[in-house]
Amino acid sequence: MRLGFRKNQRESNNAAAEQRAAETSGATDRSVVLGEVEELGIGMFWATDAEGNLSFLSQRALADLGSGGDELIGKPLIRVFNDIEEEVGAPTQRSLAFKLKARSKLDEQIVAVEDARGSTRWWRLNGRPLLDAEGNFRGYRGSAVDISAQYAYETQVARQSQVDELTGLANRRKLNERLSAMLAAFRVSQRSCALMMLDLDRFKQVNDTMGHPAGDELLKQVATRLQSIVKDHGEVGRLGGDEFQVLLPDMDDRGTLGELANRIVQSISQPYQINGRRAIIGTSVGIAIAPYDGVEADELTRAADMALYSAKETRGGTFCFFTSELRDAASKTAMLGDRLRDAVDNGDLKLAYQPLVDPLTNEVKCFEALLRWHDEEAGDISPAQFIPVAENDDLIIRIGEAALRQACVDALAWPDTIRVAVNVSAKQFIRPGYRKAVAAALAASGLPPQRLELEITESVFVGDLETVDAIFRDLKKLGVRLALDDFGTGYSSLGYLKHGHFNKIKIDQSFVRGCTENGDINPAIIAAIVALAKALGMETVAEGVEAMDELALVKERGADLVQGYIFSRPITQEQVLAQFAEGSGVFRPSGPPRHRAERITIFRKVGLIHEDHYYDVILRNLSKTGARITGLAGVPVGTEVVLDLGHGQLVVSKVANATENSQGLKFETPLIADGSGGFMTRHRISPYSLAEAGIPLAALGAGAFPLAKWRDANKTVPKFVQLELSVPGT
């Protein structure tokens, strides 16, 4: 029995020893395997304690970082491993700190690690929380793989696919993705965003005269200026070529947007230094705002494009907001171009002459030649409509040369002391052979060169200034006079005045209109321009003077000549000759005693809201501070109403005066300029807000929000009588 017991005990001890040896051997084997895995570069291993501090880092990991374990062991894991920065190509993932706090598993978590040399490496972590038998958290156990080379390559590829290589700005793809994502998110949160589209005026000229490397350098400088203006208010990108885009979240104040667009225009228009040479370009800006002008990316982009086209048509170097009327204007412009070509071929464009008068003696010193077009179907068409159309192709060259020849012929019939001023487009001015065209017109007419003035806008300075200077020198050699038109409104720079090319500066009418209103800074601007001109030995002309108080102010500020309706509208050559035949070169001032706020004559159907009724009315004229409407009877003075200008533009108003069927409205808040000669509200009522209020958007005039008609429930009896409406031309 005892012998058998000892034998069994011996066998049991042997089995235990064998198990311990096997366990030791297994542990050794696992350690060897882990070491071999590390040696092969397949993985590295790490662990934390229950407090989240790094408690273990395998030898391969330490070797990869080039750092001793003592420096890292004991540090919080979130200080050893950093979340990757948000950048193009970086994966989207929850932060490491968030996952550790939630004790979530780590799957393919990309982190940044700083090695002993201060360089950043990228690791991909996997890890699981460890629990003991009682369910207590013991820390994390995990592995890591160094993916630095792969990560750097993938982010570089992703960045190249979304970043413009030349300027470093977001490219078209990135901008489209950002805009689509933003609009989708903002529809849910009912937020707004603005989109600016801009391209560069005369950029091609810089490329052609200075070379493509100069053009590339110019685009880089433009990108830098745009970013310095927009800052963190939005994202700037380059679509390609000379086209840029600015995305502005949570912006719908059109006053603020207009100010920003104007700063962009002014900044981009300042001179550039490129390889030791100076160049000037300009820009035009189109602005659309979601959700008013579109709620999808393609809708908003089309709207901004239309606004940009309108800005370039207006005169370039300006900005324009999208309006629903621009859709119709685009097709009308194409039709106008076809009719204009026929008019030029048939000689239907005529010249009229507006006097430039000495305000001290009322004597005419010069006449400006102005184009006029009477179309048999459309009647009189404004130069503001057809000149931009002609500027878009070489038609302006034909029109300009014909006008120059005719003006020289007409001026020869005037007294010898009277000069003629002819406008010159930038496209016409920089065209090779322009000097020859001027010389030919003078020779054919016999007009002395000193009696011809060429009025040139600041836009001619866009491009290579050395080429422009050469053209000026050639024209001065001919003996003609040069005038700088619309001074201060376009690509403004005082630098080009010091060369002494100009004999005259014309103060733009935008500085004259409203210069007598309280608090207006334009009188100071006028005085400064006059002082500058006198210091440089130049004459000054104040344009657009219409009221007696404006005339008194520009005379007192020292303007040499005055041009405007206060003296005369443009008159025909026959009328000019008749006046001189009577022995008089005097034009007496005649006009209202005081300046009135600028009003636009307009005939358009709009809406008027009073209490819970919506009326249709005709808008006859519009100013910043008021409007006149027709279409209602029985509206007493003092009635508070809301004028609906369409597309969410609601203006709180009061009836200031009334006749039997028309009313004059005074606005509670003044309108602002829209950048293209019109007026608009600073803010618009969001379609989201209107829908929440239960107001059917289709009732709001010509807006673009088609919902149900104005509800009839619980309406009161209309207070006013709706008259039959008639809009001229419809």
Buried b (16+ CB within 10 A) or exposed e, 421-449: bbbbbbbbbbbeebbebbbebbeebebeb
**Phi and psi for 221 in degrees, rounded to 5?**
-70, -35
- Strand, coil or helix: 345: helix
User: pLDDT tens for residues 685-699?
Assistant: 766 555 555 544 444
Q: Is 576:595 a contact under the CB 8 Å cutoff?
A: no
| Same domain flag for 516 and 379 | yes
pLDDT at 576: 96
Provide the domain limits for residue 137: 41-155
| Same domain flag for 577 and 617 | no
pLDDT at 505: 92
Burial classification of residue 411, based on how many CB atoms lie within 10 Å of its CB (0-12 exposed, 13-18 middle, 19 or more buried)? buried
Question: Of 260, 294, 323, which residue constitutes the final position of a domain?
Answer: 323
d(CA 381, CA 395): 17
Per the domain annotation, does 592 fall within a domain? no
Per the domain annotation, does 453 fall within a domain? yes
| Same domain flag for 193 and 293 | yes
| Same domain flag for 137 and 110 | yes
| Same domain flag for 245 and 136 | no
d(CA 33, CA 37): 6
Q: Is 322:197 a contact under the CB 8 Å cutoff?
A: no
Burial classification of residue 407, based on how many CB atoms lie within 10 Å of its CB (0-12 exposed, 13-18 middle, 19 or more buried)? buried
| Same domain flag for 521 and 380 | yes
Per the domain annotation, does 588 fall within a domain? no
pLDDT at 311: 86
The residue length of the chain stands at 730
CATH number at residue 170: 3.30.70.270
| Same domain flag for 352 and 496 | yes
| Same domain flag for 576 and 428 | yes
102-105 CB contacts, 8 Å cutoff, 24+ apart: 103/129, 103/137, 104/129, 105/129
d(CA 559, CA 552): 10
Handedness of CA 542, 311, 288, 294 (dihedral sign): positive
CA distances from 75 to 80, 128, 488 (A): 7, 19, 63
CATH number at residue 347: 3.20.20.450
pLDDT at 10: 52
Three-state secondary structure readout of 664-729: EEEECCCCEECCCCCEECCCCCCHHHHHHCCCCHHHCCCCCCCCCCCCCCCCCCCCCEECCCCCCC
Q: Is 487:518 a contact under the CB 8 Å cutoff?
A: no
Total count of domains within the chain: 5
Per the domain annotation, does 21 fall within a domain? yes
Other C-beta atoms within 10 Å of 700: how many?
Answer: 26
pLDDT at 266: 86
Residue numbers in the chain where pLDDT is lower than 70: 1-42, 67-70, 86-92, 158-160, 314-315, 327-331, 334, 462-464, 488-496, 498-500, 518-519, 596-603, 675-677, 686-715, 726-730
Per the domain annotation, does 586 fall within a domain? no
Beta carbons within 8 Å of 715's beta carbon, 6+ residues apart: 612, 613
Radius of gyration of the chain (CA): 37
For residue 62 the two structure tokens come to 């330490």
| Same domain flag for 356 and 268 | no
Per the domain annotation, does 589 fall within a domain? no
Handedness of CA 541, 547, 548, 554 (dihedral sign): negative
Per the domain annotation, does 590 fall within a domain? no
pLDDT at 129: 94
User: pLDDT tens for residues 600-628?
Assistant: 566 688 888 888 788 889 998 888 899 99
CATH number at residue 610: 2.40.10
| Same domain flag for 484 and 545 | yes
Chain mean position to CA 598: 25
| Same domain flag for 122 and 204 | no
> Can you give the pTM of this predicted structure?
0.57
Per the domain annotation, does 729 fall within a domain? no
Quick one: angle between helices 522-535 and 548-556, nearest 10? 40
What's the N-to-C CA distance of the chain in angstroms? 127
| Same domain flag for 459 and 568 | yes
DSSP designation for 170: B
pLDDT at 438: 96
Beta carbons within 8 Å of 406's beta carbon, 6+ residues apart: 351, 369
CATH number at residue 66: 3.30.450.20
